């Protein structure tokens, strides 16, 4: 029998712990098992994670008309023809369809300082939740330092490697891919921002930088936008990305 006294439910210590992390720690137990409430929350979060991976994003349904019009948002797709194929063949999600390449070249100018790409990745829910607030904040942060922002487009069944095709087609200084992360049991709405300096076919992850965990209980959108723009400016100045550029600056959060 343990000599450690149990922590009383509702204690200030437990409240402070649970405010700092969504992890299931110090949740209490019923005999040797989870309490019923903890088990039900776990099952619900697991279902949300599975749904996030399987769900498809619909631009007209999931974003309002003002958002679509402001960014002149349009959709292209990778070589993965179905969600099942996308999950089983990651390589197909790294390459754009021929008609997608034509649409991007026709509708987006070459040579932007930052070219934004939206990708569903492994969580359409993350893009739906974060993009409407992150994109305007990112545009404002980019304008403040005098960089040109390439209007985004959406890539369905997208993997990170699709950045290489975008770099080849549009030749921006930096490609910024905002893509849904693999969902966990803490949140299914976590977005990643991948950045690469003048990506080209054949580039791998060593040429990319990542800002992850962009969501309500992770990295706030204002901080994410500031970090993205700061890192992109460094890449342009140093003409490199990936292992050659380490993120050493984090903007402070406003006081509560």
- pLDDT tens digit sequence for 80-129: 999 999 999 999 999 999 999 999 999 999 999 999 999 999 999 999 99
Tell whether 250 is covered by a domain.
Answer: no
Tell whether 51 is covered by a domain.
Answer: no
Tell whether 76 is covered by a domain.
Answer: yes
CATH code: domain of residue 123: 3.40.50.11240
For 127-165, how does the pLDDT look when each residue is reduced to its tens digit (9 = 90+)?
Answer: 999 999 999 999 999 999 999 999 999 999 999 999 999
Number of residues assigned to the chain: 256
> Which residues span the domain enclosing 230?
59-244
Q: Identify the CA nearest to 195 among candidates 136, 252, 143, 246.
A: 246
DSSP string, 208-226: EEEEEEESTTSB-HHHHHH
How far apart are the C-alpha atoms of 24 and 133, rounded to whole Å?
A: 28
Measured in degrees and rounded to the nearest 5, phi and psi for residue 92 equal -70, -25
For residues 161-187, give the mean pLDDT: 89
Please state the domain count of the chain: 1
What pLDDT is attached to residue 186?
56
Per-residue pLDDT band for 218 (boundaries 50, 70, 90) equals confident
Per-residue pLDDT band for 255 (boundaries 50, 70, 90) equals very low
Tell whether 47 is covered by a domain.
Answer: no
- pLDDT greater than 60 at residue 1: no
Per-residue pLDDT band for 46 (boundaries 50, 70, 90) equals low
For residues 25-44, give the mean pLDDT: 69
What pLDDT is attached to residue 247?
85
For residues 19-45, give the mean pLDDT: 68
Tell whether 162 is covered by a domain.
Answer: yes
Tell whether 10 is covered by a domain.
Answer: no
How far apart are the C-alpha atoms of 92 and 249, rounded to whole Å?
A: 35
Tell whether 64 is covered by a domain.
Answer: yes
Work out the angle at residue 53's Cα, subtended by the Cα atoms of residues 47 and 59, and round it to the nearest 5 degrees.
115
Tell whether 9 is covered by a domain.
Answer: no
């Amino acid at each position: 029998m343990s000599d450690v006294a149990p922590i009383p439910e509702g204690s200030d210590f437990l409240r402070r712990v649970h405010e700092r992390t969504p992890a299931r720690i110090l949740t209490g137990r019923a005999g040797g098992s989870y309490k019923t409430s903890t088990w039900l929350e776990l099952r619900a979060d697991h279902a949300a994670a599975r749904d996030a991976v399987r769900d498809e994003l619909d631009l007209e349904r999931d974003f309002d008309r003002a958002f679509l019009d402001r960014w002149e948002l349009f959709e292209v797709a990778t070589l993965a023809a179905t969600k099942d194929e996308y999950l089983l063949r990651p390589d197909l999600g790294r390459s754009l369809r021929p008609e997608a390449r034509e649409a991007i070249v026709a509708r987006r100018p070459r040579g932007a300082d930052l070219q934004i790409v939206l990708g569903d990745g492994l969580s359409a829910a993350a893009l739906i939740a974060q993009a409407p607030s992150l994109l305007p904040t990112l545009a404002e942060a980019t304008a403040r330092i005098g960089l040109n922002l390439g209007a985004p487009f959406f890539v369905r069944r997208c993997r990170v490697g699709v950045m290489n095709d975008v770099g080849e087609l549009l030749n921006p200084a930096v490609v910024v891919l905002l893509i849904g992360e693999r969902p966990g049991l803490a949140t299914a709405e976590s977005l990643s921002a991948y950045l690469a300096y003048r990506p080209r076919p054949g580039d791998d992850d060593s040429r990319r930088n990542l800002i992850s965990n962009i969501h309500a209980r992770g990295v706030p959108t204002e901080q994410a936008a500031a970090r993205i723009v700061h890192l992109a400016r460094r890449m342009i100045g140093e003409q490199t990305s990936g292992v050659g550029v380490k993120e050493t600056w984090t903007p402070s959060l406003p006081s509560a």
